[in-house]
Amino acid sequence: MTMKTNSRRFSFSESLFSFIKPIVIIIAVLAAILPFWWLTAASFKSGNLYEEGWRVLFPEHLTLDYYKKLLLAQERLPLLRFLGNTAFYCAAGVFLELALAALAAYPLARLNFKGKGAVTFILIAVLALPAQANAIINFTTVRALGLYDTMLGVILPGAVSVFAILLLRQAFAEISSELEDAARLDGCGEWQIFTNVCLPLTRPTQAAVALFAFVANWNSFLWPLVVLKSADKYPLSVGLAYLASSFDSDFRVTAAGSVLAALPMIIFFLAIQKEFVKGITAGALKG
């Protein structure tokens, strides 16, 4: 009797979970999509924006006037220059993140040296520090090196993150030692094992690191605002902050700029989506 009762309870709980799960997923998806949907719809909406209510989500009359207004006003707001600056910051940031994180993570995962545990502990401890805590020392260092108001001053302080190092360290640690031993028997040195064996096997994790680095550099706002004073070096995130005052507080122009700023991130994610998902789930599926 007890077994039947437990079986019925389990069956009821499983059915209830199966019923609730899709509802929760739908709510979560809508909560994530609706703000961007509203922003996109507002950027194409003609007429009065603030009297429409929820109907803004389904505009009847579409217009490209706000995108034209944004792109044609290059003297007031050089959007294309900001876009080019941001692309440069992202390309440099992704390259440095992947290169430096991989070089730091490999010895922590595959080599034995004195102080290895202490280095790993320090890296984990650094994760607890907020990014703003490093702003003062980074600014002082940048000024001392003569990199204030330069693109290099924007890039170098965020060239590598502890998160990327630990993520790649875990990926390198999961590689079978048999592959490494076989490579050594074939006469490979440590550098060849790193470049020809370990790096190709961790491409999904590298894709995840690349996406995180791209998004972080694309959305970077506070540090460029602090370290740059020349507007011609501003990234797009800082440039968008001046949209409201530049266009008489017309929110739809700001919305158009925000949509244009989000498109490269969406395209980049779609391009590496499969590798990104593999990289995120690799550790969870191990064993």
Among the candidates 63, 93, 111, a domain finishes at: 63
Task: For residues 164 and 238, state if they share a domain.
Answer: yes
Is residue 238, in this structure, part of any structural domain at all? yes
Highest mean pLDDT among 8-17, 51-60, 164-173: 164-173
Task: For residues 158 and 230, state if they share a domain.
Answer: yes
pLDDT band at 169 (very low <50, low <70, confident <90, very high): very high
Task: For residues 276 and 189, state if they share a domain.
Answer: yes
Task: For residues 59 and 135, state if they share a domain.
Answer: no
* Higher-scoring residue by pLDDT: 126, 72: 126
Is residue 70, in this structure, part of any structural domain at all? no
Task: For residues 52 and 168, state if they share a domain.
Answer: no
Q: pLDDT tens-digit profile of 22-52?
A: 888 888 888 888 888 888 888 887 766 666 6
Cα 155–chain centre separation = 15
**Is residue 213 within 8 Å of residue 172, measured between CB atoms?**
no
Task: For residues 6 and 36, state if they share a domain.
Answer: yes
Distance CA 95, CA 99 (A): 6
Point out the least confidently predicted range of 61-65, 252-256, 279-283: 279-283
Is residue 69, in this structure, part of any structural domain at all? no
Task: For residues 103 and 47, state if they share a domain.
Answer: no
Task: For residues 127 and 43, state if they share a domain.
Answer: no
Task: For residues 133 and 220, state if they share a domain.
Answer: yes
The CATH number given to whatever domain includes residue 226 is 1.10.3720.10
Task: For residues 218 and 86, state if they share a domain.
Answer: yes
Please tell me the predicted confidence (pLDDT) of residue 66. 82
Counting residues of the chain whose pLDDT is more than 90, the rounded percentage is 26
Please tell me the predicted confidence (pLDDT) of residue 287. 42
Point out the least confidently predicted range of 7-11, 267-271, 283-287: 283-287
Is residue 71, in this structure, part of any structural domain at all? no
pLDDT band at 137 (very low <50, low <70, confident <90, very high): confident
Task: For residues 116 and 249, state if they share a domain.
Answer: yes
Task: For residues 59 and 80, state if they share a domain.
Answer: no
Among the candidates 40, 63, 86, a domain finishes at: 63
Number of domains in the chain: 2
Domain containing 220 equals 76-285
Is residue 114, in this structure, part of any structural domain at all? yes
